[in-house]
Structure 1
């Protein structure tokens, strides 16, 4: 796992995803984020670590649009705007993040095996909290 910190873009797959978003045409960026979230939910059985890492990054992009959401650090996250990505995708992002945090997730196991699972869960719980508050305010996927 090419990971250097606990942030949503602090790993190779998520940083690569950010680069792909920057290279995509502006109108393709939001649909790519949504596709990642939907893909995490559609994955049957065990969710691979790479897919989990990218889903966390996509959820962070949605959470950044919500009140109280942290801006995404452009050093590893996307540097260009993502038109059309807004808080209406909060419910989808929350469900995808819950899938990543669930029992059939390689990412959870990798963090636990590293001895840093508790710290990663704490950081991810803050992201989840923003999404939960967004859902409570009535945002949900179209």
Structure 2
């Protein structure tokens, strides 16, 4: 990934993922989570981890009703058009995916541990985990 920032959409993989969500809807969210949870995947690469974090952020925005962290206006519109609780069945899946992304078998925690902005990124991950339960 070339663009980096501590927010869920502050990287190239997440920005591309937004377009997938706008095209494929909830299926894209589910797929991003399932990829990092695949039992045949020994290690979560940066791109897959970033996509799962973005999926978790979208789900959290929908469940909480707070789209402040979603900077793409088309994605905000998509989230706001969903029926209340429509994505609720994905809550557990997204929480498990996020746990895997911030765990020891993932590229992202290592990157952020070595970064001066790591505390902020880990804080964002803790916020998402709290929203997802």
TM range (shorter): 0.7 to 0.9
Contact 2:6 2:117 in 1 (8 A): no
User: What is the aligned residue count?
Assistant: 127
- Unaligned segments of structure 1, at least 5 residues: 133-142
Give the deviation of 1:127 after TM superposition.
1.0
CA distance in 2, matches of 1:120, 1:70: 19
Structure 1, residues 64-93: CA drift from partner, whole Å, max 9, x if none? 1223x5314233883551557512210000
Q: TM-score, normalised by structure 2?
A: 0.83
TM-score by length of 1: 0.78
What's the counterpart of residue 72 of structure 2?
75
1:45 aligns with 2:42: yes
1:2 aligned partner: 2
CA spacing shift, 1:99–1:76, aligned 2, 3 Å: farther
More helix by share: 2
* Match runs of 1:120-131 below 5 Å: 120-131=121-132
- Decide whether aligned partners of structure 1 residues 29 and 100 sit closer, same or farther in structure 2, where only a CA change above 3 A counts: same
Q: Which has the higher mean CA deviation after the structures are superposed, 109-118 or 75-84?
A: 75-84
Matched-pair contact (CA < 8 Å) for 1:4–1:11: yes
RMSD of aligned alpha carbons:
2.2
